């Protein structure tokens, strides 16, 4: 293993730490926002997208990274997003959420992760591989042999799109501005602010964006050339165990990234005094692996999860990532609506 | 006034169920909790819950106190 590959673990540590401190999960955040009008994680997501979109383009302009937007595979993006959305609903966490919540000691999410690994492995390396390859080729659209992005489809300067998106994100953040309920004026030490208290949406956004730019730079050195995405690691970890092969072609930057996220979350939750091994309830023994398998298949088919597509793909203006993200959250909305919103008191 | 404490143990429940189940209990006890006759105490080890339960009940006009029982486990006290 080279130091460039190992940097995946270090970036994972940092990302896992940030995720746990922010308690940043797109399932929790989605339910909080749609059912309870609690916009903490939605705001953190908007800050993240704002800083990452600007950051990626600035870093690309400075020659630090080279953008590498995901392809537009209309059928795969839609099908993958819908399957992933179903899985996320059953597990009750997104891909990032599942990973860092393992680090905080909840065994139920480890069961989900086993499902994700199995689903991603079957799709990318196992018996579903022929179908996955076929679906990926259906309605695959390229523009001058490049992945379609908002800027190359519209024939616009990417910075114009970046500025328009930034204005939209800022507008939404202003719209969601709310009174700080029950905030106390007491002085909080820097240590407590970073290691004990939950982070503010703004601080989460800045931290994830910085982690993303570092990830893009480091993964390029390691030959992956993408920001944070978890699907590769989730499909390779089972592969290494099945074949008992830990060579460089399997233990990649993305493989170590996933392990790093878990380790980072362990450290964060221990420092905060939140770490506790929590045994699953009986219902979790069934629902978590099933939901996980769907998440793994969905991410495998669609070419990424909510992190690879929304947090890393949208900032690169990839249309495939935007369509996949919409499919994930539209599916989730329908399920959350019937389960939690329709009969809400 | 002697306030009766109603304890709801949601240990092991994961996001979003601690908040959902606490609201179900609250609906049952609504009148007594709203009048201050009863206090709702929720035991949880879900880290989403220690954020979204206080936010939700503060929005409904309650005083919320989050006490750590041990590492990774909290008692959330909800009263008028």
With CB atoms and an 8 Å threshold, state whether B48 touches A106: no
What φ, ψ does residue A143 adopt, rounded to 5°?
-120, 115
In angstroms, the separation between the Cα of residue A273 and the nearest Cα of chain B is 5
pLDDT higher than threshold 80 for residue B23: yes
Tell me the mean pLDDT in the region A266-294.
Answer: 96
pLDDT higher than threshold 90 for residue A154: yes
Cα end-to-end distance, chain B, whole Å: 13
**Is B46 designated active site?**
no
In angstroms, the separation between the Cα of residue B40 and the nearest Cα of chain A is 18
Nearest alpha carbon to residue B53 among B74, B7, B22: B22
| Model pLDDT for residues A241-265, shown as the tens digit of each residue | 999 999 999 999 999 999 999 999 9
Nearest alpha carbon to residue A232 among A60, A3, A5: A5
**Cβ A165 vs Cβ A159: under 8 Å:** no
With CB atoms and an 8 Å threshold, state whether B72 touches A101: no
pLDDT higher than threshold 80 for residue A183: no
With CB atoms and an 8 Å threshold, state whether A269 touches B72: yes
pLDDT higher than threshold 80 for residue A266: yes
Tell me the mean pLDDT in the region B53-73.
Answer: 95
A contacts of B68 (beta carbons < 8 Å): 273
| Model pLDDT for residues A67-109, shown as the tens digit of each residue | 999 999 999 999 999 999 999 999 999 999 999 999 999 999 9
With CB atoms and an 8 Å threshold, state whether B71 touches A281: no
pLDDT bracket for residue A196 (50, 70, 90):
confident
The percent of residues in chain A predicted with pLDDT above 70, rounded, is 97
Predicted local distance difference test score (pLDDT) of residue A344: 72
ipTM of predicted assembly, 2 dp: 0.93
B contacts of A35 (beta carbons < 8 Å): 16
With CB atoms and an 8 Å threshold, state whether A182 touches B68: no
CA distance A21 to A10: 17
What φ, ψ does residue A230 adopt, rounded to 5°?
-105, -15
Tell me the mean pLDDT in the region A10-39.
Answer: 97
In angstroms, the separation between the Cα of residue B50 and the nearest Cα of chain A is 10
CA A111 from centre of chain: 18
Predicted local distance difference test score (pLDDT) of residue A193: 87
Tell me the mean pLDDT in the region A271-284.
Answer: 95
**Cβ A41 vs Cβ A26: under 8 Å:** yes
In angstroms, the separation between the Cα of residue A10 and the nearest Cα of chain B is 25
Predicted local distance difference test score (pLDDT) of residue A178: 77
| Model pLDDT for residues A220-235, shown as the tens digit of each residue | 999 999 999 999 999 9
* Catalytic residue (one of B15, B20, B47, B69): B15
B contacts of A37 (beta carbons < 8 Å): 59
With CB atoms and an 8 Å threshold, state whether A340 touches B16: yes
CA distance A62 to A182: 43
A198 touches B: beta carbon within 8 Å: yes
3-state secondary structure chain A: CCHHHHHHHHHHHHHHHHHHHHCCCHHHHHHHHHHHCCCHHHHHHHHHHHHHHHHHHHHHHCCCCCCCCCCEEHHHHHHHHHHHHHHHHHHCCCHHHHHHHHHCCEHHHHHHHHHHHHHHHHHHCCCCHHHHHHHHHCCEECECCECCEHHHHHCCCHHHHHHHHHHHHHHHHHHCCCCCCCCCCCCCCHHHHHHHCCCCHHHHHHHHHHHHHHHHHHHHHCCCCCCCCCHHHHHHHHHHHHCCCCCCCCCCHHHHHHHHHHHHHHHHHHHCCCCCCECCCHHHHHHHHHHHHHHHHHHHHHCCCHHHHHHCCHHHCEHHHHHHHHHHHHHHHHHHHHHHHCCCC
In angstroms, the separation between the Cα of residue B30 and the nearest Cα of chain A is 12
A298-321 b/e (C-beta count within 10 Å ≥ 16 → b): bbbbbbbbbbbbbbbbbbbbbbbb
pLDDT higher than threshold 60 for residue A4: yes
Tell me the mean pLDDT in the region A263-279.
Answer: 96
A292 touches B: beta carbon within 8 Å: no
With CB atoms and an 8 Å threshold, state whether B55 touches A281: no
pLDDT bracket for residue B3 (50, 70, 90):
confident
pLDDT bracket for residue A159 (50, 70, 90):
very high
A274 touches B: beta carbon within 8 Å: yes
Predicted local distance difference test score (pLDDT) of residue A192: 87
**Cβ A88 vs Cβ B56: under 8 Å:** no
A273 touches B: beta carbon within 8 Å: yes
Give the list of residues 6+ apart from residue B74 with CB closer than 8 angstroms, or none. Answer: B43, B44, B45, B49, B50, B66, B67, B68
Determine how β-strand A72-73 pairs with β-strand A140-141. Answer: antiparallel
Tell me the mean pLDDT in the region B51-75.
Answer: 95
B contacts of A106 (beta carbons < 8 Å): 14
Predicted local distance difference test score (pLDDT) of residue A185: 59
Determine how β-strand B4-9 pairs with β-strand B63-70. Answer: unpaired
CA distance B80 to B66: 15
B contacts of A274 (beta carbons < 8 Å): 47, 71-72
pLDDT bracket for residue B26 (50, 70, 90):
very high
CA distance A316 to A147: 11
Predicted local distance difference test score (pLDDT) of residue A184: 57
- Mean pLDDT across chain A, nearest whole number? 95
State pTM to two decimals: 0.95
pLDDT bracket for residue A345 (50, 70, 90):
low
A contacts of B45 (beta carbons < 8 Å): 276, 278
């Amino acid at each position: 293993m080279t130091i460039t590959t190992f940097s995946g673990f270090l970036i994972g540590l940092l990302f896992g730490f940030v995720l746990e401190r922010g308690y940043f999960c797109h399932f929790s955040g989605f339910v909080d926002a749609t059912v309870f009008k609690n916009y903490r994680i939605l705001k953190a997501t908007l800050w993240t997208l704002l800083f990452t979109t600007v950051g990626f383009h600035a870093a690309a302009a400075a020659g630090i990274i080279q953008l590498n937007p995901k392809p537009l595979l209309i059928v795969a993006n839609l099908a993958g997003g819908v399957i992933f959305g179903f899985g996320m609903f059953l597990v009750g966490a997104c891909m990032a959420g599942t990973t860092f919540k393992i680090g905080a000691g909840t065994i139920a999410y480890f069961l989900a992760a086993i499902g994700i690994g199995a689903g991603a492995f079957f799709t990318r390396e196992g018996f579903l591989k022929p179908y996955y390859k076929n679906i990926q080729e259906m309605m695959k659209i390229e523009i001058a042999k490049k992945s379609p992005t908002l800027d190359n489809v519209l024939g616009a300067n990417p910075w114009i799109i970046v500025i328009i998106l930034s204005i939209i994100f800022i507008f939404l953040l202003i719209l969601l501005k709310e009174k700080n309920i029950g905030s106390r004026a007491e002085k909080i030490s820097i240590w407590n602010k970073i290691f004990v208290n939950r982070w503010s949406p703004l601080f989460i956004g800045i931290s994830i964006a910085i982690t993303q730019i570092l990830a893009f730079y480091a993964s390029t050195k390691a030959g992956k050339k993408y920001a944070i995405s978890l699907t590769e690691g989730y499909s390779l970890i089972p592969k290494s165990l099945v074949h008992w092969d830990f060579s460089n072609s399997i233990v990649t930057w993305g493989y170590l990234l996933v392990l790093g996220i878990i380790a980072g979350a362990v450290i964060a939750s221990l420092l905060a005094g939140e770490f506790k091994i929590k045994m699953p309830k009986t219902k979790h023994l069934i629902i978590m692996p099933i939901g996980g398998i769907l998440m793994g298949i969905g991410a495998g088919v669609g070419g990424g999860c909510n992190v690879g597509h929304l947090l890393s793909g949208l900032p690169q203006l990839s249309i495939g990532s935007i369509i996949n993200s919409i499919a994930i959250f539209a599916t989730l909305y329908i399920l959350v609506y019937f389960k939690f919103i329709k009969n809400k008191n | 006034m002697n306030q009766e404490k109603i304890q709801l143990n949601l240990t092991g429940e994961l996001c979003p169920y601690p908040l959902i189940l606490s609201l179900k209990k609250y609906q049952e006890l609504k009148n007594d909790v709203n009048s201050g006759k009863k206090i709702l105490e929720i035991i949880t080890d879900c880290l989403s819950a220690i954020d979204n339960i206080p936010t939700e009940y503060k929005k409904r006009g309650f005083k919320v106190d989050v006490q750590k029982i041990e590492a990774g486990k909290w008692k959330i006290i909800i009263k008028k």
